């Protein structure tokens, strides 16, 4: 059985962002806050190919459209105030 290839945050940042929008510091912040999967070996963070793919899949599938406002145009808070005032 072979060990999986491990990538440093610097390598992942270089791989994901050709224009520098994704930095190694940002990736480390995501790893520390547990928003991204990865592993810490000693004092360094590492990601496998599977970790990188899972993080990208989660990032692109997590986008949800904003909630549709009610057809009446009354916000939930205003609706609640009307009910309690009556």
In the chain, where are the structural domains located?
9-61
Q: Are 46 and 7 in contact (CB under 8 A)?
A: yes
- Least Cα distance to 47 among 72, 55, 68 occurs for 55
pTM assigned to the model: 0.65
Q: pLDDT per residue over 18-47, tens digit each?
A: 787 889 999 999 999 999 999 999 999 999
Q: In whole angstroms, give the CA distance from residue 18 to residue 6.
A: 20
Identify which has the larger pLDDT, 47 or 4: 47
Helix-, strand-, coil-residue percentages of the chain, each rounded to 5: 45, 10, 45
A 10 A CB-CB count for 38 gives 23
Backbone angles phi, psi at 41, to 5 degrees: -115, 110
Can you read off the two tokens belonging to residue 37?
């999967």
């Amino acid at each position: 059985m072979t060990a999986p290839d491990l990538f440093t945050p610097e390598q992942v940042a270089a791989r994901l962002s050709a224009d520098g929008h994704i930095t190694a510091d940002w990736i480390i912040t995501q790893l520390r806050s547990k928003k991204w999967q990865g592993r810490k070996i000693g004092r360094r963070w590492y990601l496998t190919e599977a970790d990188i793919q899972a993080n990208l899949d989660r990032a692109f599938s997590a986008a949800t459209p904003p909630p549709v406002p009610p057809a009446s145009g009354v916000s939930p808070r205003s609706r609640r105030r009307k009910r309690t005032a009556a």
